[in-house]
A and B are shown apart, each in its own frame.
Chain A
Amino acid sequence: MISELLINAFLVTVMLAIAIALLKTRTVIFTVILTSAYSLVAALMFITLDAVDVAFTEASVGAGISTILFLAAMAYLPKKEEENFSNQFLPALSCIILGAILIWCSYDLPEIGLISSPIHQHIVPDYILGSRNDIGIPNIVTSVLASYRGYDTFGETIVVFTAGVAVLVLLQNNKKNPKNTKSKINKIDKKVG
């Protein structure tokens, strides 16, 4: 138990050090690299908290795909961030107040893994007991996602699919005839002017 506590404390310290380094750096590519390192350590943290599926997502999306997306976007950005020290008092104050409120609220949270906390009492026992008889597959997470909450998953899939189609349509239109969009912009300019 105490070793778990030590491991968690160590990981939080490492994450804090990376976050401070992130604040200090002004090179854009180094910011992206540090963000990737941060989410690597965060995923290790999720593993020690026994949230393996979240760790899996954090490793593949947070550390992998989003890093590459940031890099691809970074090719169009200037190499260095501009320094801006004007009036940082109010943002810092609001951040500190928000953090204090969150820490204060966290005292009301149930202990991690406590079996009498509401989230383990509401409907989860039904899922765990009924999964094998109702659905007939050994993996409870899959049966919750695909059957007990099938409509939720269906809606999510539709939203993601729509977003993907929208992005594809936008990009394809732009790529096929770049002259067309340019002449459109010129026409609009003429109308406005």
Chain B
Amino acid sequence: MYLAALIACGISGILILVRIILGKTTFDRILAINSLGTIIVLGIALHGFYSGRPEFLDIAIVYALINFIGTIAVLKLFSTGSLGDIQK
């Protein structure tokens, strides 16, 4: 069952990768990278349960947090043109 879910994750990862590479606008690509991060969080959790060692679930949590922070940073850069330092 975990293997089936892993395969599903892999297929959706490939679809997202196609969107990243072909993506029409930059925002499509940012959204796609964010979704790829979510898929990878799922993949880590599923791989942990599949290989019988679910103790590594905290890495998935770190991923989720980092993914969120990265997306926020990119979007902030787009909307303000800087990351909070003083513009000259």
**Are A52 and B29 in contact, CB atoms less than 8 angstroms apart?**
no
Query: B37-64 vs A: 1/0 string, CB under 8 Å?
Result: 1001001100110100000100100110
Query: A59-79 vs B: 1/0 string, CB under 8 Å?
Result: 110011001100110110000
Q: Is residue A37 within 8 Å, beta carbon to beta carbon, of the partner chain?
A: yes
**Are B29 and A71 in contact, CB atoms less than 8 angstroms apart?**
no
Considering the complex, give the chain A residue whose CB is closest to the CB of B80. A75
**Are B69 and A64 in contact, CB atoms less than 8 angstroms apart?**
yes
**Are A40 and B37 in contact, CB atoms less than 8 angstroms apart?**
yes
> Is chain B's interface secondary structure helix, strand, loop, or mixed overall?
helix
Q: Is residue B26 within 8 Å, beta carbon to beta carbon, of the partner chain?
A: yes
Q: Is residue A56 within 8 Å, beta carbon to beta carbon, of the partner chain?
A: yes
Residues of B within 8 A of A59 (CB): 59, 62-63, 66
**Are A72 and B21 in contact, CB atoms less than 8 angstroms apart?**
no
- Tell me, in angstroms, the Cα distance from A34 to B29 when the chains sit together: 9
**Are A67 and B56 in contact, CB atoms less than 8 angstroms apart?**
no
Given A33-B33, A59-B63, A72 and B85 contact (CB-CB distance below 8 Å) = yes
- Tell me, in angstroms, the Cα distance from A72 to B84 when the chains sit together: 9
Contacting residue for A52 out of B40, B56, B69, CB 8 A = B56
Q: Is residue A183 within 8 Å, beta carbon to beta carbon, of the partner chain?
A: no
Residues of A within 8 A of B85 (CB): 72
- Tell me, in angstroms, the Cα distance from A68 to B17 when the chains sit together: 22
The 7 closest A-B pairs by CB, nearest first: A64-B66, A72-B83, A68-B73, A21-B21, A75-B82, A67-B70, A37-B33
A-B pairs with beta carbons under 8 Å apart, 7 shown: A33-B74, A34-B20, A34-B33, A56-B62, A60-B66, A63-B63, A71-B73
